[in-house]
Amino acid sequence: MKTKISARKFLSKYMIYLAFVALLIVFSLTLRNVGNGFLDMGNVWNIIRQTALIAILGVGMTYALGAGQIDLSVGSVVGLTSLVTAWTVQAAGLIPGVLAGLAVGAVVGAINGALIAWVKIPPFIATLGTQILFAGVSRTVSGLKSVPITNTTFNFVFGGGDFGGVPVLLLWMVVIVVVGQLFLRKRPFGRQVISVGGNPKAALYSGVRVKLTIFKVMLLSGVLASLAGILWAGRFGGGRYSLGEAEEASAIAATVLGGTSINGGKASVAGACVGAVMLGMINNALVMYGLDVYQQMVVRGLIILAAVAFTVNAEKDA
């Protein structure tokens, strides 16, 4: 009996990494004769560029879900941030542009946190409302037009450049994921997040300021979404209202695939990063297999459902 329980816990903890390796082997073998092959470095870097920003969104989502919350507004924050950053970079320069972009996420995150923690609106409803609100703001202020960024330094450093052939986005992703994982595992704030998500009443009785912790995780999610928006703008050389659109679903899927509980109390930043890259691998492989857009949607939907089902059942058995 103990062996079965241990095996179940082992699979629950390391399934994402085992699945990642298994898919990598399958794709590398079955797609080796398609184009230059799945493991061609050009294709690998393309996958990284497509998934690094989802991984950064996933770090914020990990903290939100770990605390028993959710943030559906991150896609809207990305789009609005890209526009504000583009306008400010063109008008005032690189540093003011970055600060203005980060301020967007801080404001939206603070609004979400206040609505959830003190107004006591359920996180799904609160962040759905701000998602719609700021998506509308982006479309209104931009007139549905893109805003170019001609500052080459900004475009290089914030998403569009390569260092020695290595995409800048990979470096950003590694830094954010490592810092996020260390804070989650090694710092008091990380333990507070998990305790609030696992049992908020027990956390309150043990001295954790539950409302403030919820406010902080939503603020963090907003700021990381704005950082992703800045990097999106740098990668594509401008801001657009549609950047990041619907990517909250990708961030949630990557986070859940990585082992974070949708019910709170269990989270892994590293797992969210692996989940994001794995989703990128799957998307890339489906294109190489020749599936059309709608077939790809079916496969991705099945994968997300399977991941959630596995997570829920693993929690019941724990």
- With the C-alpha atoms ordered 243, 308, 39, 11, is the resulting torsion angle positive or negative? positive
Q: What is the DSSP letter of 318?
A: -
Q: List phi, psi (to 5°) of 163.
A: -110, 110
Residue 263 has pLDDT above 50, yes or no: yes
At 221-249, the pLDDT tens digits run 999 999 999 999 999 999 999 999 889 98
Residue 317 has pLDDT above 70, yes or no: no
DSSP letters for 5-43:
HHHHHHHHHHHHHHHHHHHHHHHHHHTTTSTT-TT-HHH
Q: Which residue has the tokens 């946190």?
A: 113
> pTM of the prediction?
0.92
Residue 53, both tokens: 């920003």
Portion of the chain with pLDDT greater than 90, in percent: 72
The amino acid at residue 65 is L
Q: Taking a C-beta distance cutoff of 8 angstroms, is the pair 114, 206 a contact?
A: no
Instruction: Supply the pLDDT for residue 1.
Output: 47
E strands, 161-283, in order: 162-163, 166-167, 238-239
- Spatial separation of the C-alpha atoms in residues 195 and 193, rounded to whole Å: 6
Residue 28 has pLDDT above 50, yes or no: yes
Closest by alpha carbon to 56, among 219, 220, 189, 197? Answer: 220
Please report which confidence band the pLDDT of residue 16 belongs to, taking 50, 70 and 90 as the band edges. confident
Q: Taking a C-beta distance cutoff of 8 angstroms, is the pair 230, 103 a contact?
A: no
At 110-152, the pLDDT tens digits run 999 999 999 999 999 999 999 999 999 999 999 999 999 999 9
Instruction: Supply the pLDDT for residue 261.
Output: 87
Closest by alpha carbon to 223, among 74, 54, 123, 53? Answer: 74
